[in-house]
Structure 1
């Protein structure tokens, strides 16, 4: 049964709790359809996975959905929903609109994350959040205790989107919010234009996290930060192509806290060793296939 022929949403199945997973990827769920979807989600108590990727629902639509997930009678984020995918949904409004309208979707999601008890995987790829929205998102992540996997790739967190953006503050606050997260094991922040300043701001906080196993800040380069919690580790190899300066800055901050590590192999690196040696302890043996 469809509640709206244009929006093509399974109202009956959601109302009767017949669905465990709902994939609406590139399903033309615009802002108006998002409001209808929110009404359905507010009465559902069975969904475990929701994928809304590629639907231009705008900040207002995203806000309605986030509030429905948090405040509905079934409260999916405190009940059954474990995976939420909101890639490329225009989560942030254009810079010329009022800030309340621009950040409404992010702020509502941040509020929902504070109370989430069931959500373990969240993907917000390709929403062009920028530094300001990253700060708003950080307020929710700082109080979240359920996520194990988070992808915020492709969001220009390290780029200046407006004249008021503070790149270092956006990167630092996001990393600080995750520094004490008790269960997060995988974090993907790739393709965010995070330069030396942003990486430096993030590194000191990421180094304090005791649950993170893998961290991605450059595409294709997975940093095995969890391995560094092994205080007997003597050698660490970084697999993946193209480790660069920002990867080195993050690793350098973590290695500073590791007394037994004597050898680090950066694999197929994008930079020369002379350019990154200064971020590592003097006694560390550093290897890489330079200047790929």
Structure 2
């Protein structure tokens, strides 16, 4: 092409570049525009044409990054195993790999079921359910892609179908064992990944352990979000091991099936951990046995800043344990204990601790049966610490 032989576009002044980009056809092939057209008006036009909502601030104010991230997301979300050729995804990689830093995949489609003859359906109904091949329900294979995205830092996945209509099946809302193995392989190869979110995907202990094994000693991972899954104590023990062999800063395990035993495993790792800043265990059934274990771990931890134990079945025993932490630990910035039965005893213990603490700037005690006077005193202490923090920042 003449343009390739005389690359004078970058030598033009900004108004001249805009003039040309405003008139470039949006139908130009990506292999041409990706390399020749820099971030600016042209890519803004491309985004505005395809999507109604375009908040470029979520993409470091780069229209080109927005286009390629969302373009790749759309291809993956509409990928039908057995129908869509994997090459349809891989063909885009050379153009987008330098711009894709985050992928937010909100659905993953299943293979299309072939219509069965009446006789085949009868035979299928006679077969035990566990003999039906699970591989037929596998989703997109991330192992063919992630190692090629050399700048990928954030990956958010949900194994679900957004609009299933009358074709609803529970398998539309979970990852298979094969999906898990392939994703684990992909995660291990993606050494630039800093944030992994895998939510609402029916991840239980077995799958959790497979995924965690691939993340041990990961060089870049800083945030792990496995919320809204089915992880129990065996999965929690694996995550405890991950805390001792990673540099995690944020861990979200909210709304799973972790009990006191799993909480104790996480607490044991927490007592020796020096990187974790935020731990979210809300809506797990920890009880006081688990809550007190976390409190005991924080007696030896000077790193954690945010702790969420909302709706975990703890009582005043855990509140007393945490009050002892607050009397000697000024690292904690926020504690959420809402939707637990702490009662007046728990409230008084926290009130006394907060009066001496100079670090806590948030203490959520909604729906805890703590009396209003104690809550008022705790809020005063928290506000005092907030004001002090603001003065120090100035």
**Structure 2-normalised TM-score?**
0.48
Offset of residue 15 of structure 1: 9.6
Equivalent position of 1:84 in the other structure: 155
Do the aligned partners of 2:101 and 2:151 also contact (CA within 8 Å) in 1? yes
Which residue number corresponds to residue 208 of structure 2? 134
Please identify, of 241-250 and 49-58, the stretch whose mean Cα deviation from structure 2 is larger.
241-250
Counterparts of 1:268 and 1:115 in 2: how far apart (Å)? 38
Question: Corresponding residue for 2:245?
Answer: 180
Counting matched residue pairs gives: 243
What whole-Å deviation, never above 9, does each CA across 1:45-92 have from its counterpart, x for those lacking one? 322222221223577433x2233222xxxx22xx211121212348xx
What SS class does the counterpart of residue 91 from structure 2 fall into?
Answer: helix
Equivalent residue for 2:269?
Answer: 205
**More relative contact order, 1 or 2 (CA 8 Å, 6+ apart):** 1
Whether 2:80 is the aligned partner of 1:30: answer yes
Q: Look up the match of 1:152.
A: 226
- Structure 1 residues 33 and 171, CA gap change in structure 2 (3 angstroms): farther
- Residue 260 (str. 1) matches residue 310 (str. 2): no
* Residue correspondence of structure 1 range 209-288 to structure 2 within 5 A: 209-218=273-282, 229-230=301-302, 242=310, 244-245=312-313, 260-261=328-329, 268-273=337-342
User: For structure 2, which runs of at least 5 residues remain unmatched after alignment?
Assistant: 1-26, 36-63, 112-136, 162-169, 284-293, 347-351, 355-362, 371-394
Please report the RMSD computed on the Cα atoms of aligned residues, expressed in angstroms.
Answer: 4.8
Q: Do the aligned partners of 1:153 and 1:189 also contact (CA within 8 Å) in 2?
A: yes
Q: CA deviation at 1:267?
A: 5.8
Task: Decide which of 255, 258, 271 is 1:191's aligned counterpart.
Answer: 255
1:237–1:17: structure 2 CA closer, same or farther, 3 Å change rule?
A: closer
| Bigger radius of gyration among the two | 2
Call closer, same or farther: CA 1:241–1:155 in 2, change over 3 Å.
closer
1:120 aligns with one of 191, 194, 219: 194
TM-fit CA distance, 1:261: 3.8
Specify whether residues 42 and 227 from structure 1 end up closer, same or farther in structure 2 by C-alpha distance, changes over 3 A only.
Answer: farther
Q: Distance in 1 between matches of 2:272 and 2:321?
A: 10
* Separation in 2, partners of 1:213, 1:36: 41
Q: TM-score, normalised by structure 1?
A: 0.63
Q: Check 1:120–1:229 CA distance in 2 against 1; reply closer, same or farther (3 A cut).
A: same
2:184 aligns with 110
For each residue in 1:144-185, what CA deviation from the matched residue of structure 2 results, as whole angstroms up to 9, or x when unmatched?
Answer: 121112211111112xxxxxxxxx222201221232312x21
Distance in 2 (alpha carbons) for counterparts of 1:254 and 1:218: 16
Q: 1:268 to 1:178 in 2, by over 3 A?
A: closer
